[in-house]
Structure 1
Amino acid sequence: MKFKLITVIFLSLALIESAVAQDNDSSDIAEKEDVYDFVLISTKYQNSFHFLGRDFGENIPLLTADLMYYFNSGIYFNASSIKFLQADLPWQYALSLGYNKDLSETTDINVSYTQFLVNEVSDVTGIQNLGFLQATFGWEWGFLYSNIQGQFLFNEETDYFISSSHSRYFEFDQKLFNKITLSFEPKFTLMAGTSQFYQTGYDLSGQENLELEKLQLLSWEAVLPITFGIGYWDIGFHTRYINPLNLPSFDSSTKRFIFSVQTSYAIPIKKSKRL
């Protein structure tokens, strides 16, 4: 039974996009947001897709490109294009609107909605009108930065998820060659949610006692992103170990490492300086 990949594949970009936005919020943008807007341009190669820790027994690399406008007020718009390196999968696109705000010196929130679009004919049902809503609360406490995120996936059926991440940002005091800033941020994430998304991709006739609407643990993952910063350029290398949990018998996903490389450039747009 061949799994119809495309719905869950391009939802993975919502998670990727969220992580990129969170990382940017804690770097140069946060330092300059009083006087600057930013245009952020990024591209990414990943050696295999994943969604909720699942690769569905497939190994499909992907390329993404993002263009974001980040206002100093914390509002941002993002446009994404996604190309899966498999011939029978169409180009996919995503439009996002979000808001990021520091509530205090140690807490912040991020809320966003993403609408996915496909402009080619596809025999996969349920992919032309997908929405993804997420809200995140972050807290800097002691040694760790922790956040909790609620997510809703609007498709033929509505799924909901909750995840919690814990990380710590490190940056070397001395610049490499007096120009390059080296930083890394190990992170651990645990996710739970419902599993009605399987109904879009699988023929579930004859399957019993699936309880797809039941909230249960879906995955945990550990990530080590290493970033080289040169001025407004960032080049990042991510190593991610993913462990799917509570897999149904028909899902052939396995534990695995996933690797990616990302390049981004921030263009500052000077605004009127606040007094």
Structure 2
Amino acid sequence: MTTLAPTPVHGGRLRNAAGDLSTMVGRSFRLTRRDPDELIMALVLPTSILVLFVYVFGGAISIGVDYITYATPGVILLCAGYGASNTAIAICQDMTSGAMDRFRSLPIVSATAVGGHIVVSVLKNLVTTAVVLAVAVAIGFRPSADPLEWLGAIGMVVAYVTAITCVAALIGVTVRSPAAAGGFGFVMLFLPYVSSAFVPPETMPTWMRGFAEHQPITPVIETLRGLLVGLGTDGQPVTDLGSTAALALGWCALISSVFAGAAAWVFNRRRYS
């Protein structure tokens, strides 16, 4: 088998990277349109989870406020995890089907093929978030956020989705089959359960409580809940989200940079193997 030699990346190529990324974003959108089942599941699953938590579990859980008010931010992050798992599968399919080899033979920055998947994942998750919020409002969710708080909540969702999509990108370029990528990706679906997403951490066993209180998703949840409905982890009103929001954004930035860098390193290692 002929091994492709690395193509030098000069300043002109770097300036064209934005154009290459735009092309790959368009390609990822076209792939999404050709797979309507994934698109349907991305819309149906979030609303099903929301209805399940509100009408099946909500009546048995006492938080001090309507359970839909407490749980909706957590459902948003669950849906983002599902979207990230699909991204890991899509990237792995490109890695194993020969598509990446074809991209590397073209005069483009080949890493933008992975970047295209990441951008489209973020955009699809924003659409899913809007659907979840619309359904939540229809069944009783009443956010109290002003325009600035809505802007902050959207920014928090974007930061979180970008972070877990970078994790998914690393999974996609590392594993050897789409099935394995889906399996690893779905692990991210379970992390919000062991956080303050659906119950206060103080209700958990002591050995689990420490993890729930200090894992990265908890400050993201608390920031979203505080911005949208002005409530804290215990369901009581909060007045200062500064430190919590800073911690949430710090976690997202750290995860994004570490996993994006690791994905690029693994991608290049597999590139010439």
Q: RCO (CA 8 Å, sep 6+): is it higher in 1 or 2? A: 2
Structure with greater helix percent: 2
TM-score by structure 2 length? 0.29
Structure of higher CA gyration radius: 2
